[in-house]
Structure 1
Amino acid sequence: MYTREFAQPTDTMLLTAILDMETGLDVDLQVFLSRELGLVIKDRAELVSRYTRNREAPWLVCHLCTAPVILVRTKGRRFHFRHHPVEEVEQKCSISTRGQLSAQQINCIKYNAAKESLAHLKLKGIIRDSLIADENCTEPLVEVVWKGIRLADRAQWRKPDVQVEHAGQRIAFEVQLSTTYLTEIVGRREFYRLNNGAIIWVFQDFDPSLTRTSEEDIFYLNNYNVFVVNEATLKRSQESKRMAMDCWFATPEVKNGQIYDRWVKEEVFLDQLTINPKDQKVYYRDYEYVRAVVEQLLSASAARQSFIDFWSRHAANDCREANAAWTTIRENMRIAMPELLLPADHRSGKFHGMVSLMLSARFGYPVGYNLPRLLNVANTAFDHYKEYLYAFGWTLRLYGHEQLLKDQDTKGTWARRTKIIKEGMEKHDEAFRQDPSFNKLLAFLVPEICDKLAQARAW
């Protein structure tokens, strides 16, 4: 299934003046709280993480009293800011957001209650037995204190549901069943990060179409990977002698020019996971890497269309309007595609001819030229741009325009020239040597020939 979810601000907010201590600027709440849900969830955790690491260096604060703030989520994926409960008592801001119990107190009550449930005990047993079956794991420890590096840190020592060592890496397994307890999640992440340990949050089931806040606080921080254990995974563990789990992970895909997350479930083993204690991520599929690639491709697609639009409208004309439009497109391309070095004048050197040839071959009619037919463009390529005939030919074939050229070649001129081109390339004629200087731009204009360009014909 596909998901594309956005957060929203609550209709009424007590704290509306939030200061970013890094930039010194006010936070636009409408913008900040209306982004993709995953981004808002990550920043919600980042606020708590920074306060946990150093309460003297907060990220976002109340502009009235400078107290650090937390991001609270209500029903319907709506968010608002509230003073950090510890700080509100000390700061005594004119705007009070404090209830009878602090968020930390409420979360501790919920968390400890959940750890006593039969469901929690059952999943803990499945994790333990699955690890016992894994020949590459040490004897699992259940509800045993994981001590910090320094004795002075003993107040912060943790007692994970199950812990084990696998391939030299200490791993803590925590069962996730309760409602929201973000402070507990962040606190444990920070503890294991400081102690070079990894944490795997384990679910008893998961439905990507119906996720809860406590689940989202975990998987958005864990590279969009969710791990599930049950009786079936335990059986696989015992049969394979490798700890087995079900993994739900999101794969970003482009639909109608927008990025959606497609959720997939696969059967996985512990030894197939990437474990990154530094970033506190354990995952089977690297969502963030794929997302970066998809965003780059989406950005490239939009930039390519803008470039093509300019070339179609202005490249055949020598006027002030064309010059102004090129200045704009060049600046936009510098931001969107910084690896492409575009000349100050789009008519300079071989640049204009090369681009016009490639786009004409792509679309099957003259682009950038005041010429009547594709045949005229092909003859121009033969007369003046032989070093780009490889790429020109690949593009003609790719987009199915070879027959169009044959149909337009009523006098047989192009047919004769085609033989000359073929013979010249076979004999390594210098005139037909492929020019690689514009390969990045050629690959941008026609991405499908990227692999061919990488295998440049040189002699």
Structure 2
Amino acid sequence: MFTYEYAEPTDQMLLNDILDLDTGMPVDLRTFLTRDLALVMQDRNEMAGRYTRDAQQPWLVCQLCGGAVMLVRTKDRRFHFRHHTAEEGTRGCPISTRGSFSADQINSMKYNAAKESSAHLRLKGIIRDSLVADHTCDEPQVEKVWRGMPVGERATWRKPDVQVEREGQRVAFEVQLSTTFLTEIVGRREFYRANGGAIIWVFQGFNPAETRTAHEDIFYLNNLNVFVVNEETLRRSQEANRMAFDCWYAIPHLKGRLIANEWIMEQVFLDQLTIDPVEQLVFYHDYRSRRTELLATLNSDSMRQAFHDFWTEYGASEEVEAKAVWTSLRDRMRVFNSELRLPKSHWEGPFHGAVSIILSARYGRPIGYRLPRLLDVTNVAFNSYKPYLMPFGWTLNAFEQNGLLLEQDKKGTWAKRRREIRDAIKNDENAFRRNREFDRLFAFLVPEIISNLVS
């Protein structure tokens, strides 16, 4: 089964002014919330995790009051920002996103109720009995406190559903049913990371075609591996004297310009899993490495062509599909060459204009613009992108486009402007001074002008 999903924002959002404290720049909400779903889910958890680790150093904040924000997913699986529940109503913000109960309170109620269900109790029993059958594990403990290192931080201690020590490694098992409780997920990950333990979230079933947010908050952070236990896995554990799981994992595939995930289910044992308490990963199949290898197999020519193809088809588009394809291309480019740093949105200025005029010069027709002729692009370049006119001119020369422009320039406007540009550059006029910000990208996109760029 193949899956590919991209995130979508809610139609109406109360909080529209969000600041990224890492960059000091406002967040473009439509861009941020319209990406590969995996990236949005990872950022959702990163926001919560950073606040949990240090509430004084949040990542994203409300520009109106400076309070930390969190990313919320609605029942229809769309996203919006709200004030962090710990700060809602404490900063006098004119925008309130608080209900009669906070999200934390509601999640806590649901979480505690779920832990008393018969399904939860039975899954804990299956985990315990499976560990008892595994001769490499010490005696498992059910609902016992896992103490943190400092006694003074007793309030932060955790009580996992089941815990065990195996070959010197402490492992906590937590049953995940159907409740969304991001703060619990993040809080437990950070606790076990700080105390040298690992956490395995265990499901009672999984269908990759019908995942819930509570599932995604876990498996998108766990190398896209999901572990299921049931009466059948218990039987296999007791027969093999090794704890058994049904493991669902994703294998990435390039499908055109997108990465689609193929979901596979395999019967595995605890001793086959990679456990990394530092990264808080427990996995059977290394999705992350496979994805990196897949993207790294792309050579310069194919990556360059993929970029050109994107700009030709989507450069003038702000549709949801264009944003999703750009996100995938951006991820592939990051792996291919980390120095070619691309913005989150291909519409970000002056990035969009600089790339569009260069590729238009490369192909002799408007690329990234809904314009009829290359001559119209020269008007845009002269009026709005003077700092990039030199590489624009080099590209025109490299691909012998000046004859085409002469044919289109019936009024001699471009010929006159070319003389004006040469004089302005010769006189070092400020408006025409070359901006080298995108030189690495220009060299990649149009290698024919590299010698000009480095001279």
Q: Within 2, Cα distance between the matches of 1:157 and 1:29?
A: 36
Q: Within 2, Cα distance between the matches of 1:256 and 1:62?
A: 38
Q: Which residue of 2 aligns with 1:99?
A: 99
The 5 Å alignment of 1:296-335 reads: 296-298=296-298, 300=300, 302-303=302-303, 305=305, 321-322=397-398, 331-332=440-441
8 Å Cα contact 2:398/2:449 also seen in 1: no
Q: Which residue of 2 aligns with 1:280?
A: 280
Deviations 1:247-293 (A, max 9, x none): 10111101123210110111111111111111111011111111122
Q: Within 2, Cα distance between the matches of 1:301 and 1:161?
A: 52
Q: SS of the residue aligned with 1:148?
A: coil
Aligned residue identity for 1:151: V
Structure 1 pair 27–235 and aligned structure 2 pair: CA distance change class (3 A)? same
Q: Is 2:451 the counterpart of 1:344?
A: yes
The 5 Å alignment of 1:417-428 reads: none
Deviations 1:372-428 (A, max 9, x none): xxxxxxxxxxxxxxxxxxxxxxxxxxxxxxxxxxxxxxxxxxxxxxxxxxxxxxxxx
Shift of 1:332: 4.3
Q: Within 2, Cα distance between the matches of 1:42 and 1:306?
A: 25
Aligned residue identity for 1:157: W
Q: Which residue of 1 aligns with 2:139?
A: 139
8 Å Cα contact 1:18/1:61 also seen in 2: yes
Q: Is 2:122 the counterpart of 1:122?
A: yes
Aligned residue identity for 1:216: E
RMSD: 3.0
Deviations 1:148-201 (A, max 9, x none): 111011111111010001121100000001311000110100100000000000
8 Å Cα contact 1:250/1:261 also seen in 2: yes
Q: Within 1, Cα distance between the matches of 2:226 and 2:397?
A: 54
8 Å Cα contact 1:299/1:336 also seen in 2: no
Shift of 1:299: 6.5
Unaligned runs of 5+ residues in structure 1 are 346-459
Aligned residue identity for 1:30: R
Question: Share of identical aligned residues, percent?
Answer: 59
8 Å Cα contact 1:177/1:204 also seen in 2: yes
Shift of 1:216: 0.6
The 5 Å alignment of 1:225-374 reads: 225-298=225-298, 300=300, 302-303=302-303, 305=305, 321-322=397-398, 331-332=440-441, 344=451
* TM-score between the two structures when normalised by the length of structure 1: 0.68
8 Å Cα contact 1:300/1:336 also seen in 2: no
8 Å Cα contact 2:198/2:280 also seen in 1: yes
Q: Within 1, Cα distance between the matches of 2:60 and 2:232?
A: 45
- Aligned positions, number: 338
Q: Which residue of 2 aligns with 1:54?
A: 54
Shift of 1:77: 2.3
Q: Within 1, Cα distance between the matches of 2:271 and 2:17?
A: 48
Q: Within 1, Cα distance between the matches of 2:173 and 2:125?
A: 11
Shift of 1:308: 12
Unaligned runs of 5+ residues in structure 2 are 310-358, 365-394, 402-437
Q: Which residue of 2 aligns with 1:394?
A: none
Shift of 1:295: 2.5
Deviations 1:52-105 (A, max 9, x none): 111111100000000000101013321000001211121120011110001111
Q: Which residue of 2 aligns with 1:86?
A: 86
Q: SS of the residue aligned with 1:120?
A: helix
Shift of 1:232: 1.0
Q: Within 2, Cα distance between the matches of 1:308 and 1:12?
A: 34
Q: Is 2:29 the counterpart of 1:29?
A: yes
8 Å Cα contact 1:246/1:267 also seen in 2: yes
8 Å Cα contact 1:257/1:298 also seen in 2: no
Shift of 1:217: 0.7
Q: Within 1, Cα distance between the matches of 2:140 and 2:165?
A: 8
The 5 Å alignment of 1:198-237 reads: 198-237=198-237
Aligned residue identity for 1:344: S
Structure 1 pair 154–264 and aligned structure 2 pair: CA distance change class (3 A)? same
Q: Which residue of 2 aligns with 1:456?
A: none
